[in-house]
Amino acid sequence: MARRTRVAITGIGVRTPMGDHPKELWNALTAGRSAVSRITRFGTDGLPADFACQVPPFDTATYMTAKEASRMDPATVLACCAASDALADAGGPAAPPERRAVVIGTAIGSNQTIESTLLDNGGTDRGRPYPMHVPKGMHNAAAATISMRHEILGPSLTVSTACASGGHAIGEGLRLLRDGSADLVLAGGADACVSPTKILALARAGALSRRVGDPAGASRPFDSGRDGFVLAEGAACLVLEPLDRARDRGARVYAEIAGYGRTSDAYHLTMPDPDGAGAYRCMRQALDDAGLTPGEVAHVNAHATGTPHGDLAEARAIARLFGPGGVPVTAPKSMLGHGLGASGAVEAVIAVLSLLHRTVPPSINLDDPDPACEIDAVVRPRPAAPGPVLSNSFGFGGHNASLVLAPAAT
């Protein structure tokens, strides 16, 4: 049997509400600092929530011209900047253009382009689309733009599996390398969905927290008082390449992607299987793919959005796989909010950073742990035991993705 390709992470790029560099992201997380702020980008009168986790303004001039930026949705801008940073961080791996690939996950796609056009209808009920509206507004815009900017002539793919999109994109990038379809993959996720319509729609669906009097305390995964998530935005991109090639060129290897699981609940359009059966099978599949037992996992980076049903289902799945309180669990969305399709990619970066720093980042706002969630929730930075991290991403429609990130091989 042919030896399976081992896949290394050699470059990281992020655009998050906690900063545009992995170091800034990590420092904010370990400090337990909430990224929630009042929305000032648009008027919030009449909206059920006036807060979100927003990416601070940053200068795009070093990445693109003003004209180029005007032809991109904000989600595409975030993805392109993260991808460029990741490639630069990787030290310019020299894969031929035909052997390069890109896989980007997004839940909402070019939301702001679509929404602004529909809302500006001038009384015609037809909107005011301009010639670039369709290419700017397509879900594949980020992947397509990245492929053009970085001469990627191999597969250029978009994954849209709701809030599991970023995790699935990285996992499918892993598969492209394993099956020999590429020698370099840019994989990640992006969404820029902090907008009036999305806030109103998510609140009406019962998914959004309405703690308007306490924005910083609104995102509270696994807490008895949780009432929904805080909407966020962002992007993250990883450079993936075969471990042997990375070693041959003397690249810095952050970590290995050792395993990938993907399953479906096939239960409900928005509700998870209440017993967490799909999540359990997904985590189990990822560990099997990595050749690991549950006891070898150092900690779990939970999807944990802060919704009543979602957190309970995931906690049940974790307790079933690892035993009640059997593994440390962290919930970054308590600080970062929920970036939908970006979240799985951002949290994969967080898992890598936790391996590098040998620390489990904390969850905040866990003032009254839900006794039904039988997990060991980490509430302050904790030294991490040696071993891999399991990172979960679950989405509306019952989409599940789990990644196993392992320490860099010596």
Question: Is 338 part of the annotated catalytic residue set?
Answer: yes
Cα torsion through 239, 241, 243, 248, rounded to 10: -100
Q: Which of 317, 326, 332, 328 is nearest to 363 (CA)?
A: 332
Q: Is 163 annotated in the active site?
A: yes
**Residue whose entry in the numeric block shows the structure tokens 């995931």:** 314
Cβ contact 154:101 at 8 Å: yes
The reply to whether 139 belongs to the active site is: no
Which entry of 139, 168, 299, 338 is annotated as an active-site residue? 338
Quick count: other Cβ atoms within 10 Å of Cβ 41?
A: 12
Catalytic option among 53, 81, 163, 237: 163
Phi/psi-derived region of residue 387, left when phi > 0, alpha when psi is between -120 and 50, beta in every other case: left
**Distance (Å, whole) CA 295 – CA 230:** 32
Q: DSSP letter string over 189-254?
A: EEEE--SHHHHHHHHHTT-B---TT-GGGS--TTBTT---BPBBEEEEEEEEEEHHHHHHTT----
Catalytic residue among 139, 168, 303, 399: 303
Identity of the residue numbered 298: A
C-alpha angle with apex 191: 186 to 192, nearest 5 degrees?
Answer: 135
Tokens representing residue 228 in the block: 């929904």
Structure tokens at 92: 């310019």
Question: Partners of 100 in the beta sheet?
Answer: 184
Catalytic residues: 163, 303, 338
